[in-house]
Structure formats: C-alpha cells, structure tokens
Structure 1
C-alpha cells in the first residue's frame, strides 16, 4: 500500500528541483526559443526539459504508473495510477518575466485524485496535500475563506487562449462580477488560482477550456482545504470536461448559480 504522505514529500522535492531549473533558465530565454501552439499559447524548451525531468524522477516512485502530461513526453493507457503533470503552468508569464508561474503535479488512483503539489516559483510557495490530509502551504495548514457576502469576495478567472466560442458569455459573467464583488483577478496560472482559493486569498475561481494538467493538483489541494468544485452545470465533469467552478464552502452556493447562469448549458 502506498504511503501518500511520504510520497508527497518526494513529489514536493521534485517540484522544487524543477522550479529551480525553470528559475535558472528564466533569464536565458530568447525570442527564438518561444514556439506557438496557438496565438496565445506558448511553449519553450524549458517546458519540455522540465517535463522530462519530472517524468524521469516520478517513474521510480510508482514504476507501473502512467502519465498525462501537457508536453506529451510520456503517455497513459488507463493504468491504476496516473501522474498528471504541467511542468510550467503560466508559460506566457514566464516568457515575459512575470509571476505567477508554477509546477503542478497530481496523482490519480483509478478515477480518484489522491495527491497534489503546486510550486509557485516566483514567491517560493509550495502548496500540497495528500489523501486524508489537510492542505498545506510551506508547512502551514491552510483553509478556504469564510466570506459569504459577494461584496467582500475576490474572484479569479482566466481568459480563453484557444477556444473563443464562449467569449460573450465570459464578458457577461465578468460584468456581473465586477458590479457585485470586490474585484476580479486574472493571474495566468490556473494551478495557482486554485491554490490561492485553497489558501483563502481568493474566494472563488472559474474558467473554461482548461485541461486536466492545469487543474488536477490545485483542485485536489482546494478540496482538502475545504473547498467545493463542479463543472458549469453542477456536475463532476470538471477534470476532463474543460470547465470548472471552484469556491470556498462558505461561498460556493452563492457563486455557482451566477456562473451557471452565464456559462452553463
């Protein structure tokens, strides 16, 4: 039987080592190193090198595990254990020399997430949790915010970077939230957004067109911190369904109907 607490310590070490590599390479990036996946989606040799490092270091921890990775350096064929890896969440921020950008690593056992680590490189903050544990930030237990009044809440979101079919709905939802909350922030790393909700910095987060590697670790940490997650229609198809609503338990029932109204089916 796997000891998730010990495993989490190993994954934290890998995330920090990878984060240090990314930080060291930050000043070396040139325009020729930046490739386009799409107009607003960038990739560099740092993303791919970081992912290779993570995969090679994770393999000995659970030799039979598969991988779901952003850069496709490893694959999965429905193994019992699958690592879900984003080696550099926030590549555009990284390329432009701004934070946040992060390393995100999660573990899934069958269909259940059981471990999550998000390392935000710029502030040297590591968020983590394992099955049965609370959520932690740099060794200190964290929990979600307790605000219930919309005017006291700070909301995070992300803008579509390849699927613009819902852009008008996005604008409408943001207009409502601008008028009824303390404000909206767009950080550029969904893994960090979710971790910040877990730590009580944000009250809620929503976004469309994300992938499993963007949300898996942060969402697991958020749940362990007491948060609630759904898709835009109140279901549980948020990990692979490319839509997510995440909020504190105090605010979810207030926040969900708003996003469902504007973004749901």
Structure 2
C-alpha cells in the first residue's frame, strides 16, 4: 500500500496518529477482534478501507475463520464474493436483531452504554455482541443484523464496514447524527428506518 504513490497508511499498529489527508489514505486493521483471536473465539477479521481525496471509497472485510470476503466500492455496491449485499427491510423494532460492542477501552462511557443497552434490549427481539466491529457491520450490510451501535471505536475498526453498509443501502452516522464516522467515536448503522429509530432511542436514554 505504501508503494502506491501518494499513499498514507493508518492503523492501530500502523501510524495511528497519521492525518487522514492526502490523495489516498488506507485505513487498516490487520486483526479486528484481537481478544477473540487470542482466546480462540472464531470471530475476527482483516479490515481495509480507503479514502480517496477525503471520500470513503473502498472497503474490504475478510472473515478469516470462514474464509469469506466482503467488499464494496463507492457507487458500485457491496458484495460477498459475487453476491450483492442488501441491508434488511425490517421496519418493526420489536422484531429487530441488533448488534453492539462494549466500550471496554473507554470505561467512563459504561454507565451511559448500559442504560442504552437496557433500552434497546427492552424494545427489540435481541442483542448480539460478537467482538469484531468490522464483521458486525458486514452483517448489517448482509441483512443478518438489522442495526448496530457502539460508543467508542477507532477509524480502522469501522472504515471498511461503513462503506459496505452504505453501499448496501444502509445509513451510518454517529449517535449525534454526523455522517463523519471514520474517526474515534460512536457509530450507529442500519437500514434507513431502524437507523432513525435507534438514533432517537439512544439519544433519549
């Protein structure tokens, strides 16, 4: 990646403080779900996103255990191998399956998160926490999860997955509604109906 003229590479292990500026910025997590990997829990991935002139334009998430790759490109859709991805069409929150992640690296957020968790649990059919945000977002893009939220993630956790969800017809913002999610902070993703519902619920909790 660094050999591509004008490229910058950002990642937790690869210049995490580098600025997201330049003609081509690769945002890389070579192992999303590190704790899962260390414990032999089969949920971890490689995640690669690319910003072209500041616009999120490419995303690839490789599910290592299942040997499945998800990819998307701006304006070209999102795919699992040769199968197009589409977010779920579910509109009723009480039937929704929601993904999440714990703010284990930012414990001051825990009380707020637990209040949100209780509210979402009481309003839906269930919550899943698998420990690899890139795969959670791929599941939203594929329609397996109806929506997803987390309060404290890094750019390399989400860049590729955000592109997948958006190209699969979904909406991704921060909890405050900003579309600028490729940074340190919160994320809410889902189909348009449930994204709107989940944002309202989280902000009112």
- TM-score under structure 1 normalisation? 0.74
Contact 1:115 1:217 in 2 (8 A): yes
Relative to its length, the structure with more helix (as a share) is 1
| 1:82-101 paired onto structure 2 within 5 Å | 82-101=25-44
Aligned residues: 204
Q: How does 1:95-114 map to 2 (within 5 A)?
A: 95-114=38-57
Q: In structure 1, how many angstroms separate the alpha carbons of the residues matched to 2:43 and 2:74? A: 26
Compare relative contact order (CA 8 Å, sep 6+) and give the higher one, 1 or 2: 2
Please name the residue that 1:17 is paired with: none
Q: Unpaired runs of 5+ in structure 1?
A: 1-57
Contact 2:22-2:54 at 8 Å conserved across structures: no
1:63 and 2:5 aligned: yes
Q: Give ranges in structure 2 of 5+ residues lacking alignment.
A: none
The reply on whether 1:205 has 2:148 as its aligned counterpart is yes
> Under a length normalisation based on structure 2, what TM-score does the superposition of the two structures give?
0.94
Secondary structure of 2:153's counterpart equals coil
Partner residue in 1 for 2:23: 80
Determine if contact 2:2/2:9 at 8 Å carries over to the other structure: no
Map 1:226-241 → 2, pairs under 5 A: 226-241=169-184
Change in Cα spacing, 1:261 to 1:237, as seen in structure 2 (3 Å) is: farther
Tell me the C-alpha RMSD between the 2 structures.
Answer: 1.5
2:160 alignment counterpart: 217
**Residue matched to 1:151:** 94
Shift of 1:72: 2.5
Which structure carries more strand by proportion? 2
Partner of 1:10: none
2:135 to 192, 196, 214: 192
Tell me which stretches of 4 or more aligned residues in structure 1 moved more than 6 Å: none
Deviation at residue 250 of structure 1 after TM alignment? 3.1
